[in-house]
Amino acid sequence: MLADARPIPEQYHEAWWYKDKEGWMTQYAWVLEVRPGYEEEYVRRHQEIWPEMVGALREAGIRNYSIFRYGLTLFGYFETDDIEKTQEYLANSETNQRWSEWMDPIMKVDLDPTTQFPHLLPLQWHMD
């Protein structure tokens, strides 16, 4: 294990804490899919993302959020200090609910039944 890295408690095994110049941070990632034929629509909707959705993500504690696409596969990466608070905020956000309903016809989303949040991927390796 890296000297400046440490795993977080077992119940959050999909996350990894690492130490940056400002202190301990957590990283998260997910994989989802765009439905075939909707690739350009997915891009368009994110180019025109609602300001209130960006605000909801920030209010949920999310930062350094990026989404990448390879074919139909989407890979999302974000950081937050408290994943439980992030998940709770988004679960109760009217804006997030509207965004999810708007995106549902063009995406395949596999939610973790215990969190109602996309399955989070376990980190395999990290380098600063």
58/63 Cα distance (integer angstroms): 7
Task: Work out the number of other CB atoms within 10 angstroms of the CB of residue 28.
Answer: 22
63/80 Cα distance (integer angstroms): 6
Active-site residue, from 13, 46, 119, 126: 46
Amino acid sitting at position 89? Y
* Active site (annotated) includes residue 46: yes
CA 47 and chain centroid, separation: 17
Phi, then psi, of 51 in degrees rounded to 5? -55, -35
Instruction: Please give the positions annotated as active site.
Output: 46
